[in-house]
Structure 1
Amino acid sequence: MKNRIFIISTIILGSFASISMISGNIIIQEPWKIPSKYVNMDNPYATASDDEKVGRILYTKHCKSCHGSKGHGDGTKAESIDTKVPDFDTDSFKKETDGSIYYKTIIGRDDMPSFEKKITDEEERWLVVNYIKSLVK
């Protein structure tokens, strides 16, 4: 009886290990829970097209390595991250409010780091949001 339990346990554990290897190491995250404060937040720099260069520079410095130059989630570090890096060129992303993008970009979670201390200027934060949105027009 003990041998049967051992054999069955070994088969079950082996199956889980095999499934893990086959499916890769990508972890599917829970949907973001964006506080309504951010969802409804107005972008005070939504029309700041003159400052696209600032947004591009900050995106290149902080975001491009994971999200890629066009925002498709294909940056050089994307494969080394446990969770799937999102593609900004999807219908669901295009429906995001500026405030939701701000929250995800600045506050972050899990593999998406917070940039609250790296991008401290409020206008620059919004210019990154603007640049990200410009990638998917």
Structure 2
Amino acid sequence: MKTKLLYILGLIIIVGFMSFTFQEDRWTAPEGAKKLKNPVSSADKAESIKRGAKIFKTRCMICHGTTGKGDGIGGKALSPKPQNLVSKMVQSQTDGEIFWKVTNGRNDMIKWGPILTEEQRWDVVNYVRTLK
């Protein structure tokens, strides 16, 4: 009976640890971020994407890679690894969630809010949308 109880307790601890580990890797923006609206009009989107591509190449590509798959040379030693921006998980997020993440950073990802203007951060969001 005691052995069975210890076995069950051990399984609960292992499953709990695994759940915590997987949740930790999933980066969730706060609810309010989902409601942020992209201020770039469809008429200005092409120019925004061009500007975003330039910013991505100079600021983001080192870790996220040339195609945004998270395989950049600068991200090789990072833990967690840079996000694959092409993935369904990233592309299914709202523009506001991506903007919030660019703005606030996490772990080794730079907090771009104090470095890039609001317009530049939206340009990056618009460029990330082209990485599908």
Q: CA deviation at 1:61?
A: 1.3
**Which entry has the higher C-alpha Rg, 1 or 2?**
1
TM-score normalised by the chain length of structure 2? 0.75
Alignment counterpart, residue 44 of structure 1, candidates 35, 39, 45: 39
TM-score normalised by the chain length of structure 1? 0.72
What corresponds to 1:126 in structure 2?
122
Identical residues among aligned pairs (%): 30
What's the CA shift string for 1:12-36, capped at 9, x where partnerless? xxxxxxxxxxxxxxx8634223122
**2:64 is matched by which residue type in structure 1?**
H
Instruction: Quote the Cα distance in structure 2 between the aligned partners of 1:60 and 1:93.
Output: 19
Instruction: Please give the root-mean-square deviation of Cα atoms over the aligned residues, in Å.
Output: 1.7
* Long gaps (5+) in structure 2: 1-20
* Long gaps (5+) in structure 1: 1-26
Aligned 8 A contact 1:46 1:130 in 2: no
